Amino acid sequence: MKTLLKISWRNCWKSPLRTGIVIGSIIVGIWSSIFMMGFMDGMMTSRKNNVINTRLGHIQIHSPEYEYDPNILNSVKDREKVIQALENNPHVVGYTDRFVTEGVLKTAREQRGIKINGIDVEKDAATLLISEKADQGSFFGEEFKYPVAVGDKLAKELKLEIGSKVSLSLTKPDSTQTSKNFKVAAIYKSGDAAYDNYNIFVPKEAIYKVIKSDEPIVHEIIVKIDDIEKADEVKAELLKSIKSDEVLTWLEADPYSAYAEDSYGMMMFILMTVIIVALLFGILNTVIMSVLERKREIGVLRSIGMTKKKVWAMITLESLIFGLVGGPLGILTGWATTAYFGKYGFDLSSYGEAMEAYGLDTIVYFNIPVEYYFIYSFLIVIATVIGSLIPAYIATRVNPIEAIRSI
Amino acid sequence: MENVIETKNLNKVFGIGDLAIKALDDVNFHIQKGEFTALVGPSGSGKTTLLNMIGGLDEPTSGNVILDGQDISQLKKSEMTKFRQDHIGFVFQAYNLIPVLSAYENAEFIMLLQNVPAKERKERVYKLLEEVGLKGKEKNKPGEMSGGQQQRVAVVRALAAQPAYILADEPTANLDSKSTSDLLDLMYRLNQEENMTFIFATHDQRVMDRAKRIVYLEDGKIIKDEVH
């Protein structure tokens, strides 16, 4: 084996330019795919964190009817029981209960359909980050009796600024309409333009006064837990005591996030497959050329007693050398790049608006799950072995007599 | 004397039907240990085909080839490969050393396939390289040696594995007079001193002049068999 390895290694380097190009292309291919994966994973993680920390939490609890008919009457059915279940669960690190209904926001010139989020500011701030996203003003000071926080995009479109007066219209529990003037106390920027354009925030007590409700009405309880991976487990635990309300994990509560997670996994797989297939054909092509150039040499090896198995092993080793030199270097450079941008971030602020439209941060911190490196390493070995099959087959078919005749 | 090679009613036909060419026609001959034999004849006379048969590289259309006491028609291909490795040494016209290996590594190559222990390999290779006048050239790659030197390495490669006999197909065709003379001296000496069996397929008069036995072939038949 040592001699076969020696022959294979030296044969690989007989044409340094060709070998250099093949190994270089393997390195660049793997590096670029890891870069892309790190970038994509970073964006996905950024979006996921944004969505969870500002909007969804890890778990949401609603009335079962709320998902299909989000009207004021479809509130959480057994709030006390839900709160008790949350208080008793060791994985729950925070929760906030919100009054959520659809309504209309009017200014002197325009009106918009919006979602009104009535929040308990302190409790909400302990669970989600939306109140920290105020770009102007704050959630909520003492200066206004009926304050409202609007999204940056909505504020721009309706030309609102701090102190602007707006009228909110909504349906009361008795199905009659009511309106109340609010003043813009904060303009927030969550990083998701579509969300900012649709969601406004008001203090829960203020909205209760508007609808003249003495009882707390809660439509949505947003829960944060200690580990995102335990969302399903915590949901199952909560469902043991919550019977009349619906418990959803963040992926269930936001179909777009679920779709993004699925499609991201698929994109990673496709990207990896494309690179591995390209690597396979690159190696296949090079080793076939090498075998065809050395047909006579291989014929002579066969004639002096080298078995087909050893010829096969020799060619497989040549193929493996390409993969085992190029693969780790590609992975190493890819890992180093990912680690760098994972620490310092990749600045995309020049594409800020486009990034925000998709709920993404303008600085992307690269990230790749460690298992991807192992999967990649495994696939490289498999690809190089597969890449050697045809050349090895050709090599073992070399007829020693033809080699001697060609002398 | 013991026969190391024996052919019985050996026939080889290439092609079929009207295009069939009889390369060997009922060849019966044997070679004994220690012979220094030249197979001669014009191109197409069948000498290379006969050499391929007795090298176990090609299968006869009919007849038997008995090598070192073994009828090779009974062997599977993998067994034949092993048989060649252990019993037959080849020296080719174009030397056919492995370009990426040094003289030493080329010379020990067949022994590596035979799993000969490292110490023994080293002893045999150094001794033989010294005998053929290549002491100090152990680390040279084929590309760094002359044709004569490469052919001597090829002879060492064949000899080091201690085969029953050595087949040499036009070994001097690419060599100048001096190298030819040196190589023939070497082979002749090994034949005389070590009783090594050599069979040449050749056109070269200088080889014929040294041969103890000359087998003449024409149209696939042995037409004359002379012992000098």
Ordered by start, the domain boundaries in chain B are: 3-227
Look over chain A and give the mean of its residue pLDDT values, rounded to a whole number. Answer: 87
CA distances in angstroms from B216 to A203, A395, B207, listed in the order given: 114, 36, 14
The single-letter code of the amino acid at B191 is N
The residues, ordered by sequence, that sit 6+ positions from B224 with a Cβ below 8 Å of its Cβ are B214, B215, B216
- The whole-angstrom separation of Cα B179 and Cα A301 is 25
The residues, ordered by sequence, that sit 6+ positions from A226 with a Cβ below 8 Å of its Cβ are A91, A93
Give the residue on A whose Cα is nearest the Cα of B59: A401
Work out the minimum CA distance from A13 to partner chain B, whole angstroms.
9
> Which chain A residues touch B81 with a CB distance below 8 Å?
302, 305-308
* Contact check, Cβ <8 Å, A297/B98: yes
Q: pLDDT value at position A267?
A: 86
Look over chain B and give the mean of its residue pLDDT values, rounded to a whole number. Answer: 87
> Which chain A residues touch B100 with a CB distance below 8 Å?
7, 10-11, 14
Coil vs helix vs strand at A311: helix
User: Low-confidence residues of chain B, pLDDT below 70?
Assistant: 1
B147: left (phi over 0), alpha (psi -120 to 50) or beta: alpha
Coil vs helix vs strand at A97: strand
Give the residue on A whose Cα is nearest the Cα of B56: A303
pLDDT single digits (tens) A93-118: 999 999 999 999 999 889 999 999 99
pLDDT single digits (tens) B208-217: 888 899 999 9
Name the residue facing B98 among A7, A400, A405 (closest C-beta): A7
The architecture that CATH gives domain B3-227 is 3-Layer(aba) Sandwich (3.40)
Give Cα A21 distance to the centre of its chain.
Answer: 34
Instruction: For chain B, report the end-to-end CA distance as a whole number of angstroms.
Output: 18
Q: Is B47 on the interface with A (CB under 8 A)?
A: no
User: Low-confidence residues of chain A, pLDDT below 50?
Assistant: 407
pLDDT single digits (tens) B31-59: 998 899 999 998 888 888 898 888 888 88
Q: pLDDT value at position A359?
A: 66
Q: pLDDT value at position A403?
A: 64
Q: pLDDT value at position A407?
A: 40
Residue A60: what are its φ and ψ, rounded to 5°?
-125, 145
> Which chain A residues touch B94 with a CB distance below 8 Å?
407
Residue B209: what are its φ and ψ, rounded to 5°?
-60, -30
Q: pLDDT value at position A105?
A: 94
Q: pLDDT value at position B22?
A: 87
* Contact check, Cβ <8 Å, B112/A3: yes
